[in-house]
Amino acid sequence: MEGLILKNKSNLYQIESKTDHKLYEAMARGKLKQGDISPVVGDVAEFTVTDAESKSAVIEQILPRKMYSKRPKMANLTQLIFVVSSKDPKPDLLLLDKQLAFAEFLSVKAAIILNKTDLDKKQQFRMIKEVYQKIGYPVIETEAKTRKNIDQVRQLLNHEITAFSGNSGVGKSTLMNAIFNQEVAEEGEISSKNKRGKNTTTETCLYSIGIESYLADTPRFFYF
């Protein structure tokens, strides 16, 4: 059978069957590792069901990757959405530029979310939006906490495998929960000491959002 890897914890993978969308807990065959290709989230794999009742399976082979990112480890993304917050943490435009360059290098689509508009007292977002729209990137201003402009984000996700990328605390998991209209991802607090996030999300995970559309919550930003 063929399936998409949604989650990974050490040698255990959650894989979604392409045909009936059932979920299986799978291990990777030893020989896969010898070839130095550990399966990662986003991989399409051939697998064999070892126990239908407990939904256990074994991954036999990884199909050729259309895209691969080393940090964080993910395969076959078609789009990266870079999330920037106006405050706590403040916008890091150099990091944003590096990430946009990385998206171009990977040949995936790129878009920008400016989150925490409610905290944008200095109205920095207006300038940031103008600059990045001018060079051709879609830019959406959001307030994830109150779900403002979330519909615009949803439209970008159709028929794409998307990952959010951005500093800890910018609101990636809060955006995920707003998009899915329920708590799928764990949201963290901002440390009162350094006003940064505390790396609440520790594992990469793909969530299905409609036909052939998936969204990943990732712990870090995408980088060379």
Closer residue to ligand GTP in complex, CB, 56/117 = 117
Closer residue to Mg ion in complex, CB, 155/199 = 199
199 binds ligand GTP (CB under 6 A): yes
Q: Concatenated DSSP letters for the chain?
A: -EEEEEEEETTEEEEEETTT--EEEEEE-HHHHHTT----BT-EEEEEEEETTTTEEEEEEEPPPS-EETBTTEE---EEEEEEESSSSPP-HHHHHHHHHHHHHHT-EEEEEEE-GGG-TT-HHHHHHHHHHHTT--EEE-BGGGTBTHHHHHHHHTT-EEEEE--TTSSHHHHHHHHHTS--S---PBPTTTS-B-----S-EEEE-STT-EEEE-SS--B-
Please identify, among the stretches 44-52, 64-72, 110-118, 126-134, the one whose residues bind ligand GTP according to the rule CB under 6 A: 110-118
140 binds ligand GTP (CB under 6 A): no
- State the minimum distance, in angstroms, from the CB of residue 47 to Mg ion: 29
Closer residue to Mg ion in complex, CB, 59/144 = 144
165 binds ligand GTP (CB under 6 A): no
92 binds ligand GTP (CB under 6 A): no
Closer residue to Mg ion in complex, CB, 116/172 = 172
3 binds ligand GTP (CB under 6 A): no
Please identify, among the stretches 12-20, 133-141, 190-198, 204-212, the one whose residues bind ligand GTP according to the rule CB under 6 A: 190-198
**List of E strands, 124-192:** 139-141, 161-165
Question: How far is 77 from 224, CA to CA, in rounded Å?
Answer: 15
Q: 117's torsion region: left (phi>0), alpha (psi -120 to 50) or beta?
A: alpha
170 binds ligand GTP (CB under 6 A): yes
149 binds ligand GTP (CB under 6 A): no
Closer residue to ligand GTP in complex, CB, 3/171 = 171
- Residues lying near Mg ion in the complex (CB under 5 A) are found at 172-173, 200-201
Select the residue interacting with ligand GTP from 81, 143, 179, 215 (CB under 6 A).
Answer: 143
- State the minimum distance, in angstroms, from the CB of residue 46 to ligand GTP: 32
State the residues that interact with ligand GTP by CB under 6 A: 115-116, 118-119, 143-145, 166, 168-174, 187-190, 197-201, 219
